[in-house]
């Protein structure tokens, strides 16, 4: 199963051009959803106004080289390893899901644009394998997060099956990866009927995932890197986003703080 290219099998019934048009449609939906989200929440306007205000209280002006160094360090640490999530399960689950999703999307694009004709023999094994591994990693990281680590369940003692709007992103992402895998499994065993059902579910979950950007947390993957760069630049030029400097008093919270990790928000 892991080395079959489901898109080349699909080309028996759907022309590759239609699959490519679908990918473009998904990209347009993401751009539209993010732009409408930015206009509605005014978050980017606030972000730039705040950065401009903070610049006035900068203690030093950074050279181009210093700015580049801050940005490179932020990309390498805060963005590529999602350092904000600290050391532990939350970060491990996120990295698994994030890199899984990147692999899944990247290999989908390569398979659809380069190897979606009926001539599946020419598909190099690498891309279908990456597609399946990406989907599996997305499911492992995503289900781990959704079932055990998300704040409602981990800290607020809500049952795992309680679904709220904030779950739209993670659930549609999980649905897309899971239905993709089951569709490929049905194709590999030649289970007629079920393969079409899971293909339709795969399409619907992608429409919800990419069409739901305005209502979901999808756009955090663009906002978070921008915010991390701004925060580290503000740290380096001394403006600290107009926040007070950290206290240099010793951290004395008493012994009670060690009794239980803080998790009741």
User: Angle at the Cα of 110 (from 106 to 113), degrees rounded to 5?
Assistant: 135
Q: Looking at beta carbons only, is 66 or 167 nearer to ligand HEM?
A: 167
Is residue 228 within 8 A of residue 65, CB to CB? The reply is no
Q: Which stretch binds ligand HEM (CB under 6 A): 128-136, 179-187, 199-207, 221-229?
A: 221-229
Site string for ligand HEM, 155-194 (x = CB under 6 A): -----------xx-xx--x---------------------
Among 75, 221, 231, 241, binds ligand HEM (CB under 6 A): 221
Among 135, 136, 228, 229, binds ligand HEM (CB under 6 A): 228
Is residue 231 within 8 A of residue 241, CB to CB? The reply is yes
Name the minimum Å distance from CB 78 to ligand HEM.
6
Please count the other Cβ atoms lying within 10 Å of the Cβ belonging to residue 238.
14
Is residue 136 within 8 A of residue 100, CB to CB? The reply is yes
Among 44, 85, 203, 207, binds ligand HEM (CB under 6 A): 85
> What's the rounded Cα separation, in Å, for the pair 256 and 259?
5
Q: Write out the binding residues for ligand HEM, residues 102-131 only, by CB under 6 A.
A: 102
Please count the other Cβ atoms lying within 10 Å of the Cβ belonging to residue 78.
18
Q: Which residues contact 178 (CB under 8 A, 6 or more apart)?
A: 135, 139
Among 29, 30, 70, 98, binds ligand HEM (CB under 6 A): 98
Nearest CA to 168 out of 230, 223, 112, 218 is that of 218
Under rule CB under 6 A, residue 225 binds ligand HEM: yes
**Where do contacts with ligand HEM occur on this chain (CB under 6 A)?**
78-79, 82, 84-85, 90, 94, 97-98, 101-102, 142, 145, 150, 166-167, 169-170, 173, 217, 220-221, 224-225, 228
């Amino acid at each position: 199963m892991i080395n079959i290219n489901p898109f080349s099998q699909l080309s028996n019934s759907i022309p590759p051009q239609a699959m490519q048009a679908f990918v473009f449609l998904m990209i347009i939906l993401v751009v539209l959803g993010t732009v409408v989200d930015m206009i509605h929440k005014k978050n980017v306007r606030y972000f730039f106004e705040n950065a401009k205000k903070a610049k006035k209280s900068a203690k030093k002006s950074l050279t181009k080289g210093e700015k580049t160094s801050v940005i490179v360090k932020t990309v390498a640490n805060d963005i590529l390893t999602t350092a904000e999530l600290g050391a532990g399960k939350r970060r491990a689950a996120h990295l698994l899901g994030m890199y899984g999703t990147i692999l899944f999307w990247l290999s989908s694009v390569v398979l659809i644009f380069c190897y979606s004709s009926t001539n599946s023999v020419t598909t190099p094994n690498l891309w279908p394998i990456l597609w399946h591994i990406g989907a599996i990693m997305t499911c492992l990281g995503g289900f781990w997060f959704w079932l055990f680590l998300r704040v409602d369940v981990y800290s607020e003692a809500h049952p795992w099956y309680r679904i709220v709007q904030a779950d739209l992103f993670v659930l549609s992402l999980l649905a897309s990866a899971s239905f993709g895998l089951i569709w490929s499994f049905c194709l590999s065993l030649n289970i007629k009927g079920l393969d079409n059902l899971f293909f339709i579910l795969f399409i619907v979950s992608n429409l919800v995932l990419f069409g739901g950007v305005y209502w979901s947390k999808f756009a955090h993957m663009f906002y978070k890197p921008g915010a991390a760069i701004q925060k580290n630049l503000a740290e380096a030029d001394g403006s600290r986003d107009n926040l007070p400097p950290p206290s240099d008093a010793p951290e004395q919270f008493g012994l009670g703080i060690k009794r239980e990790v803080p998790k009741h928000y």
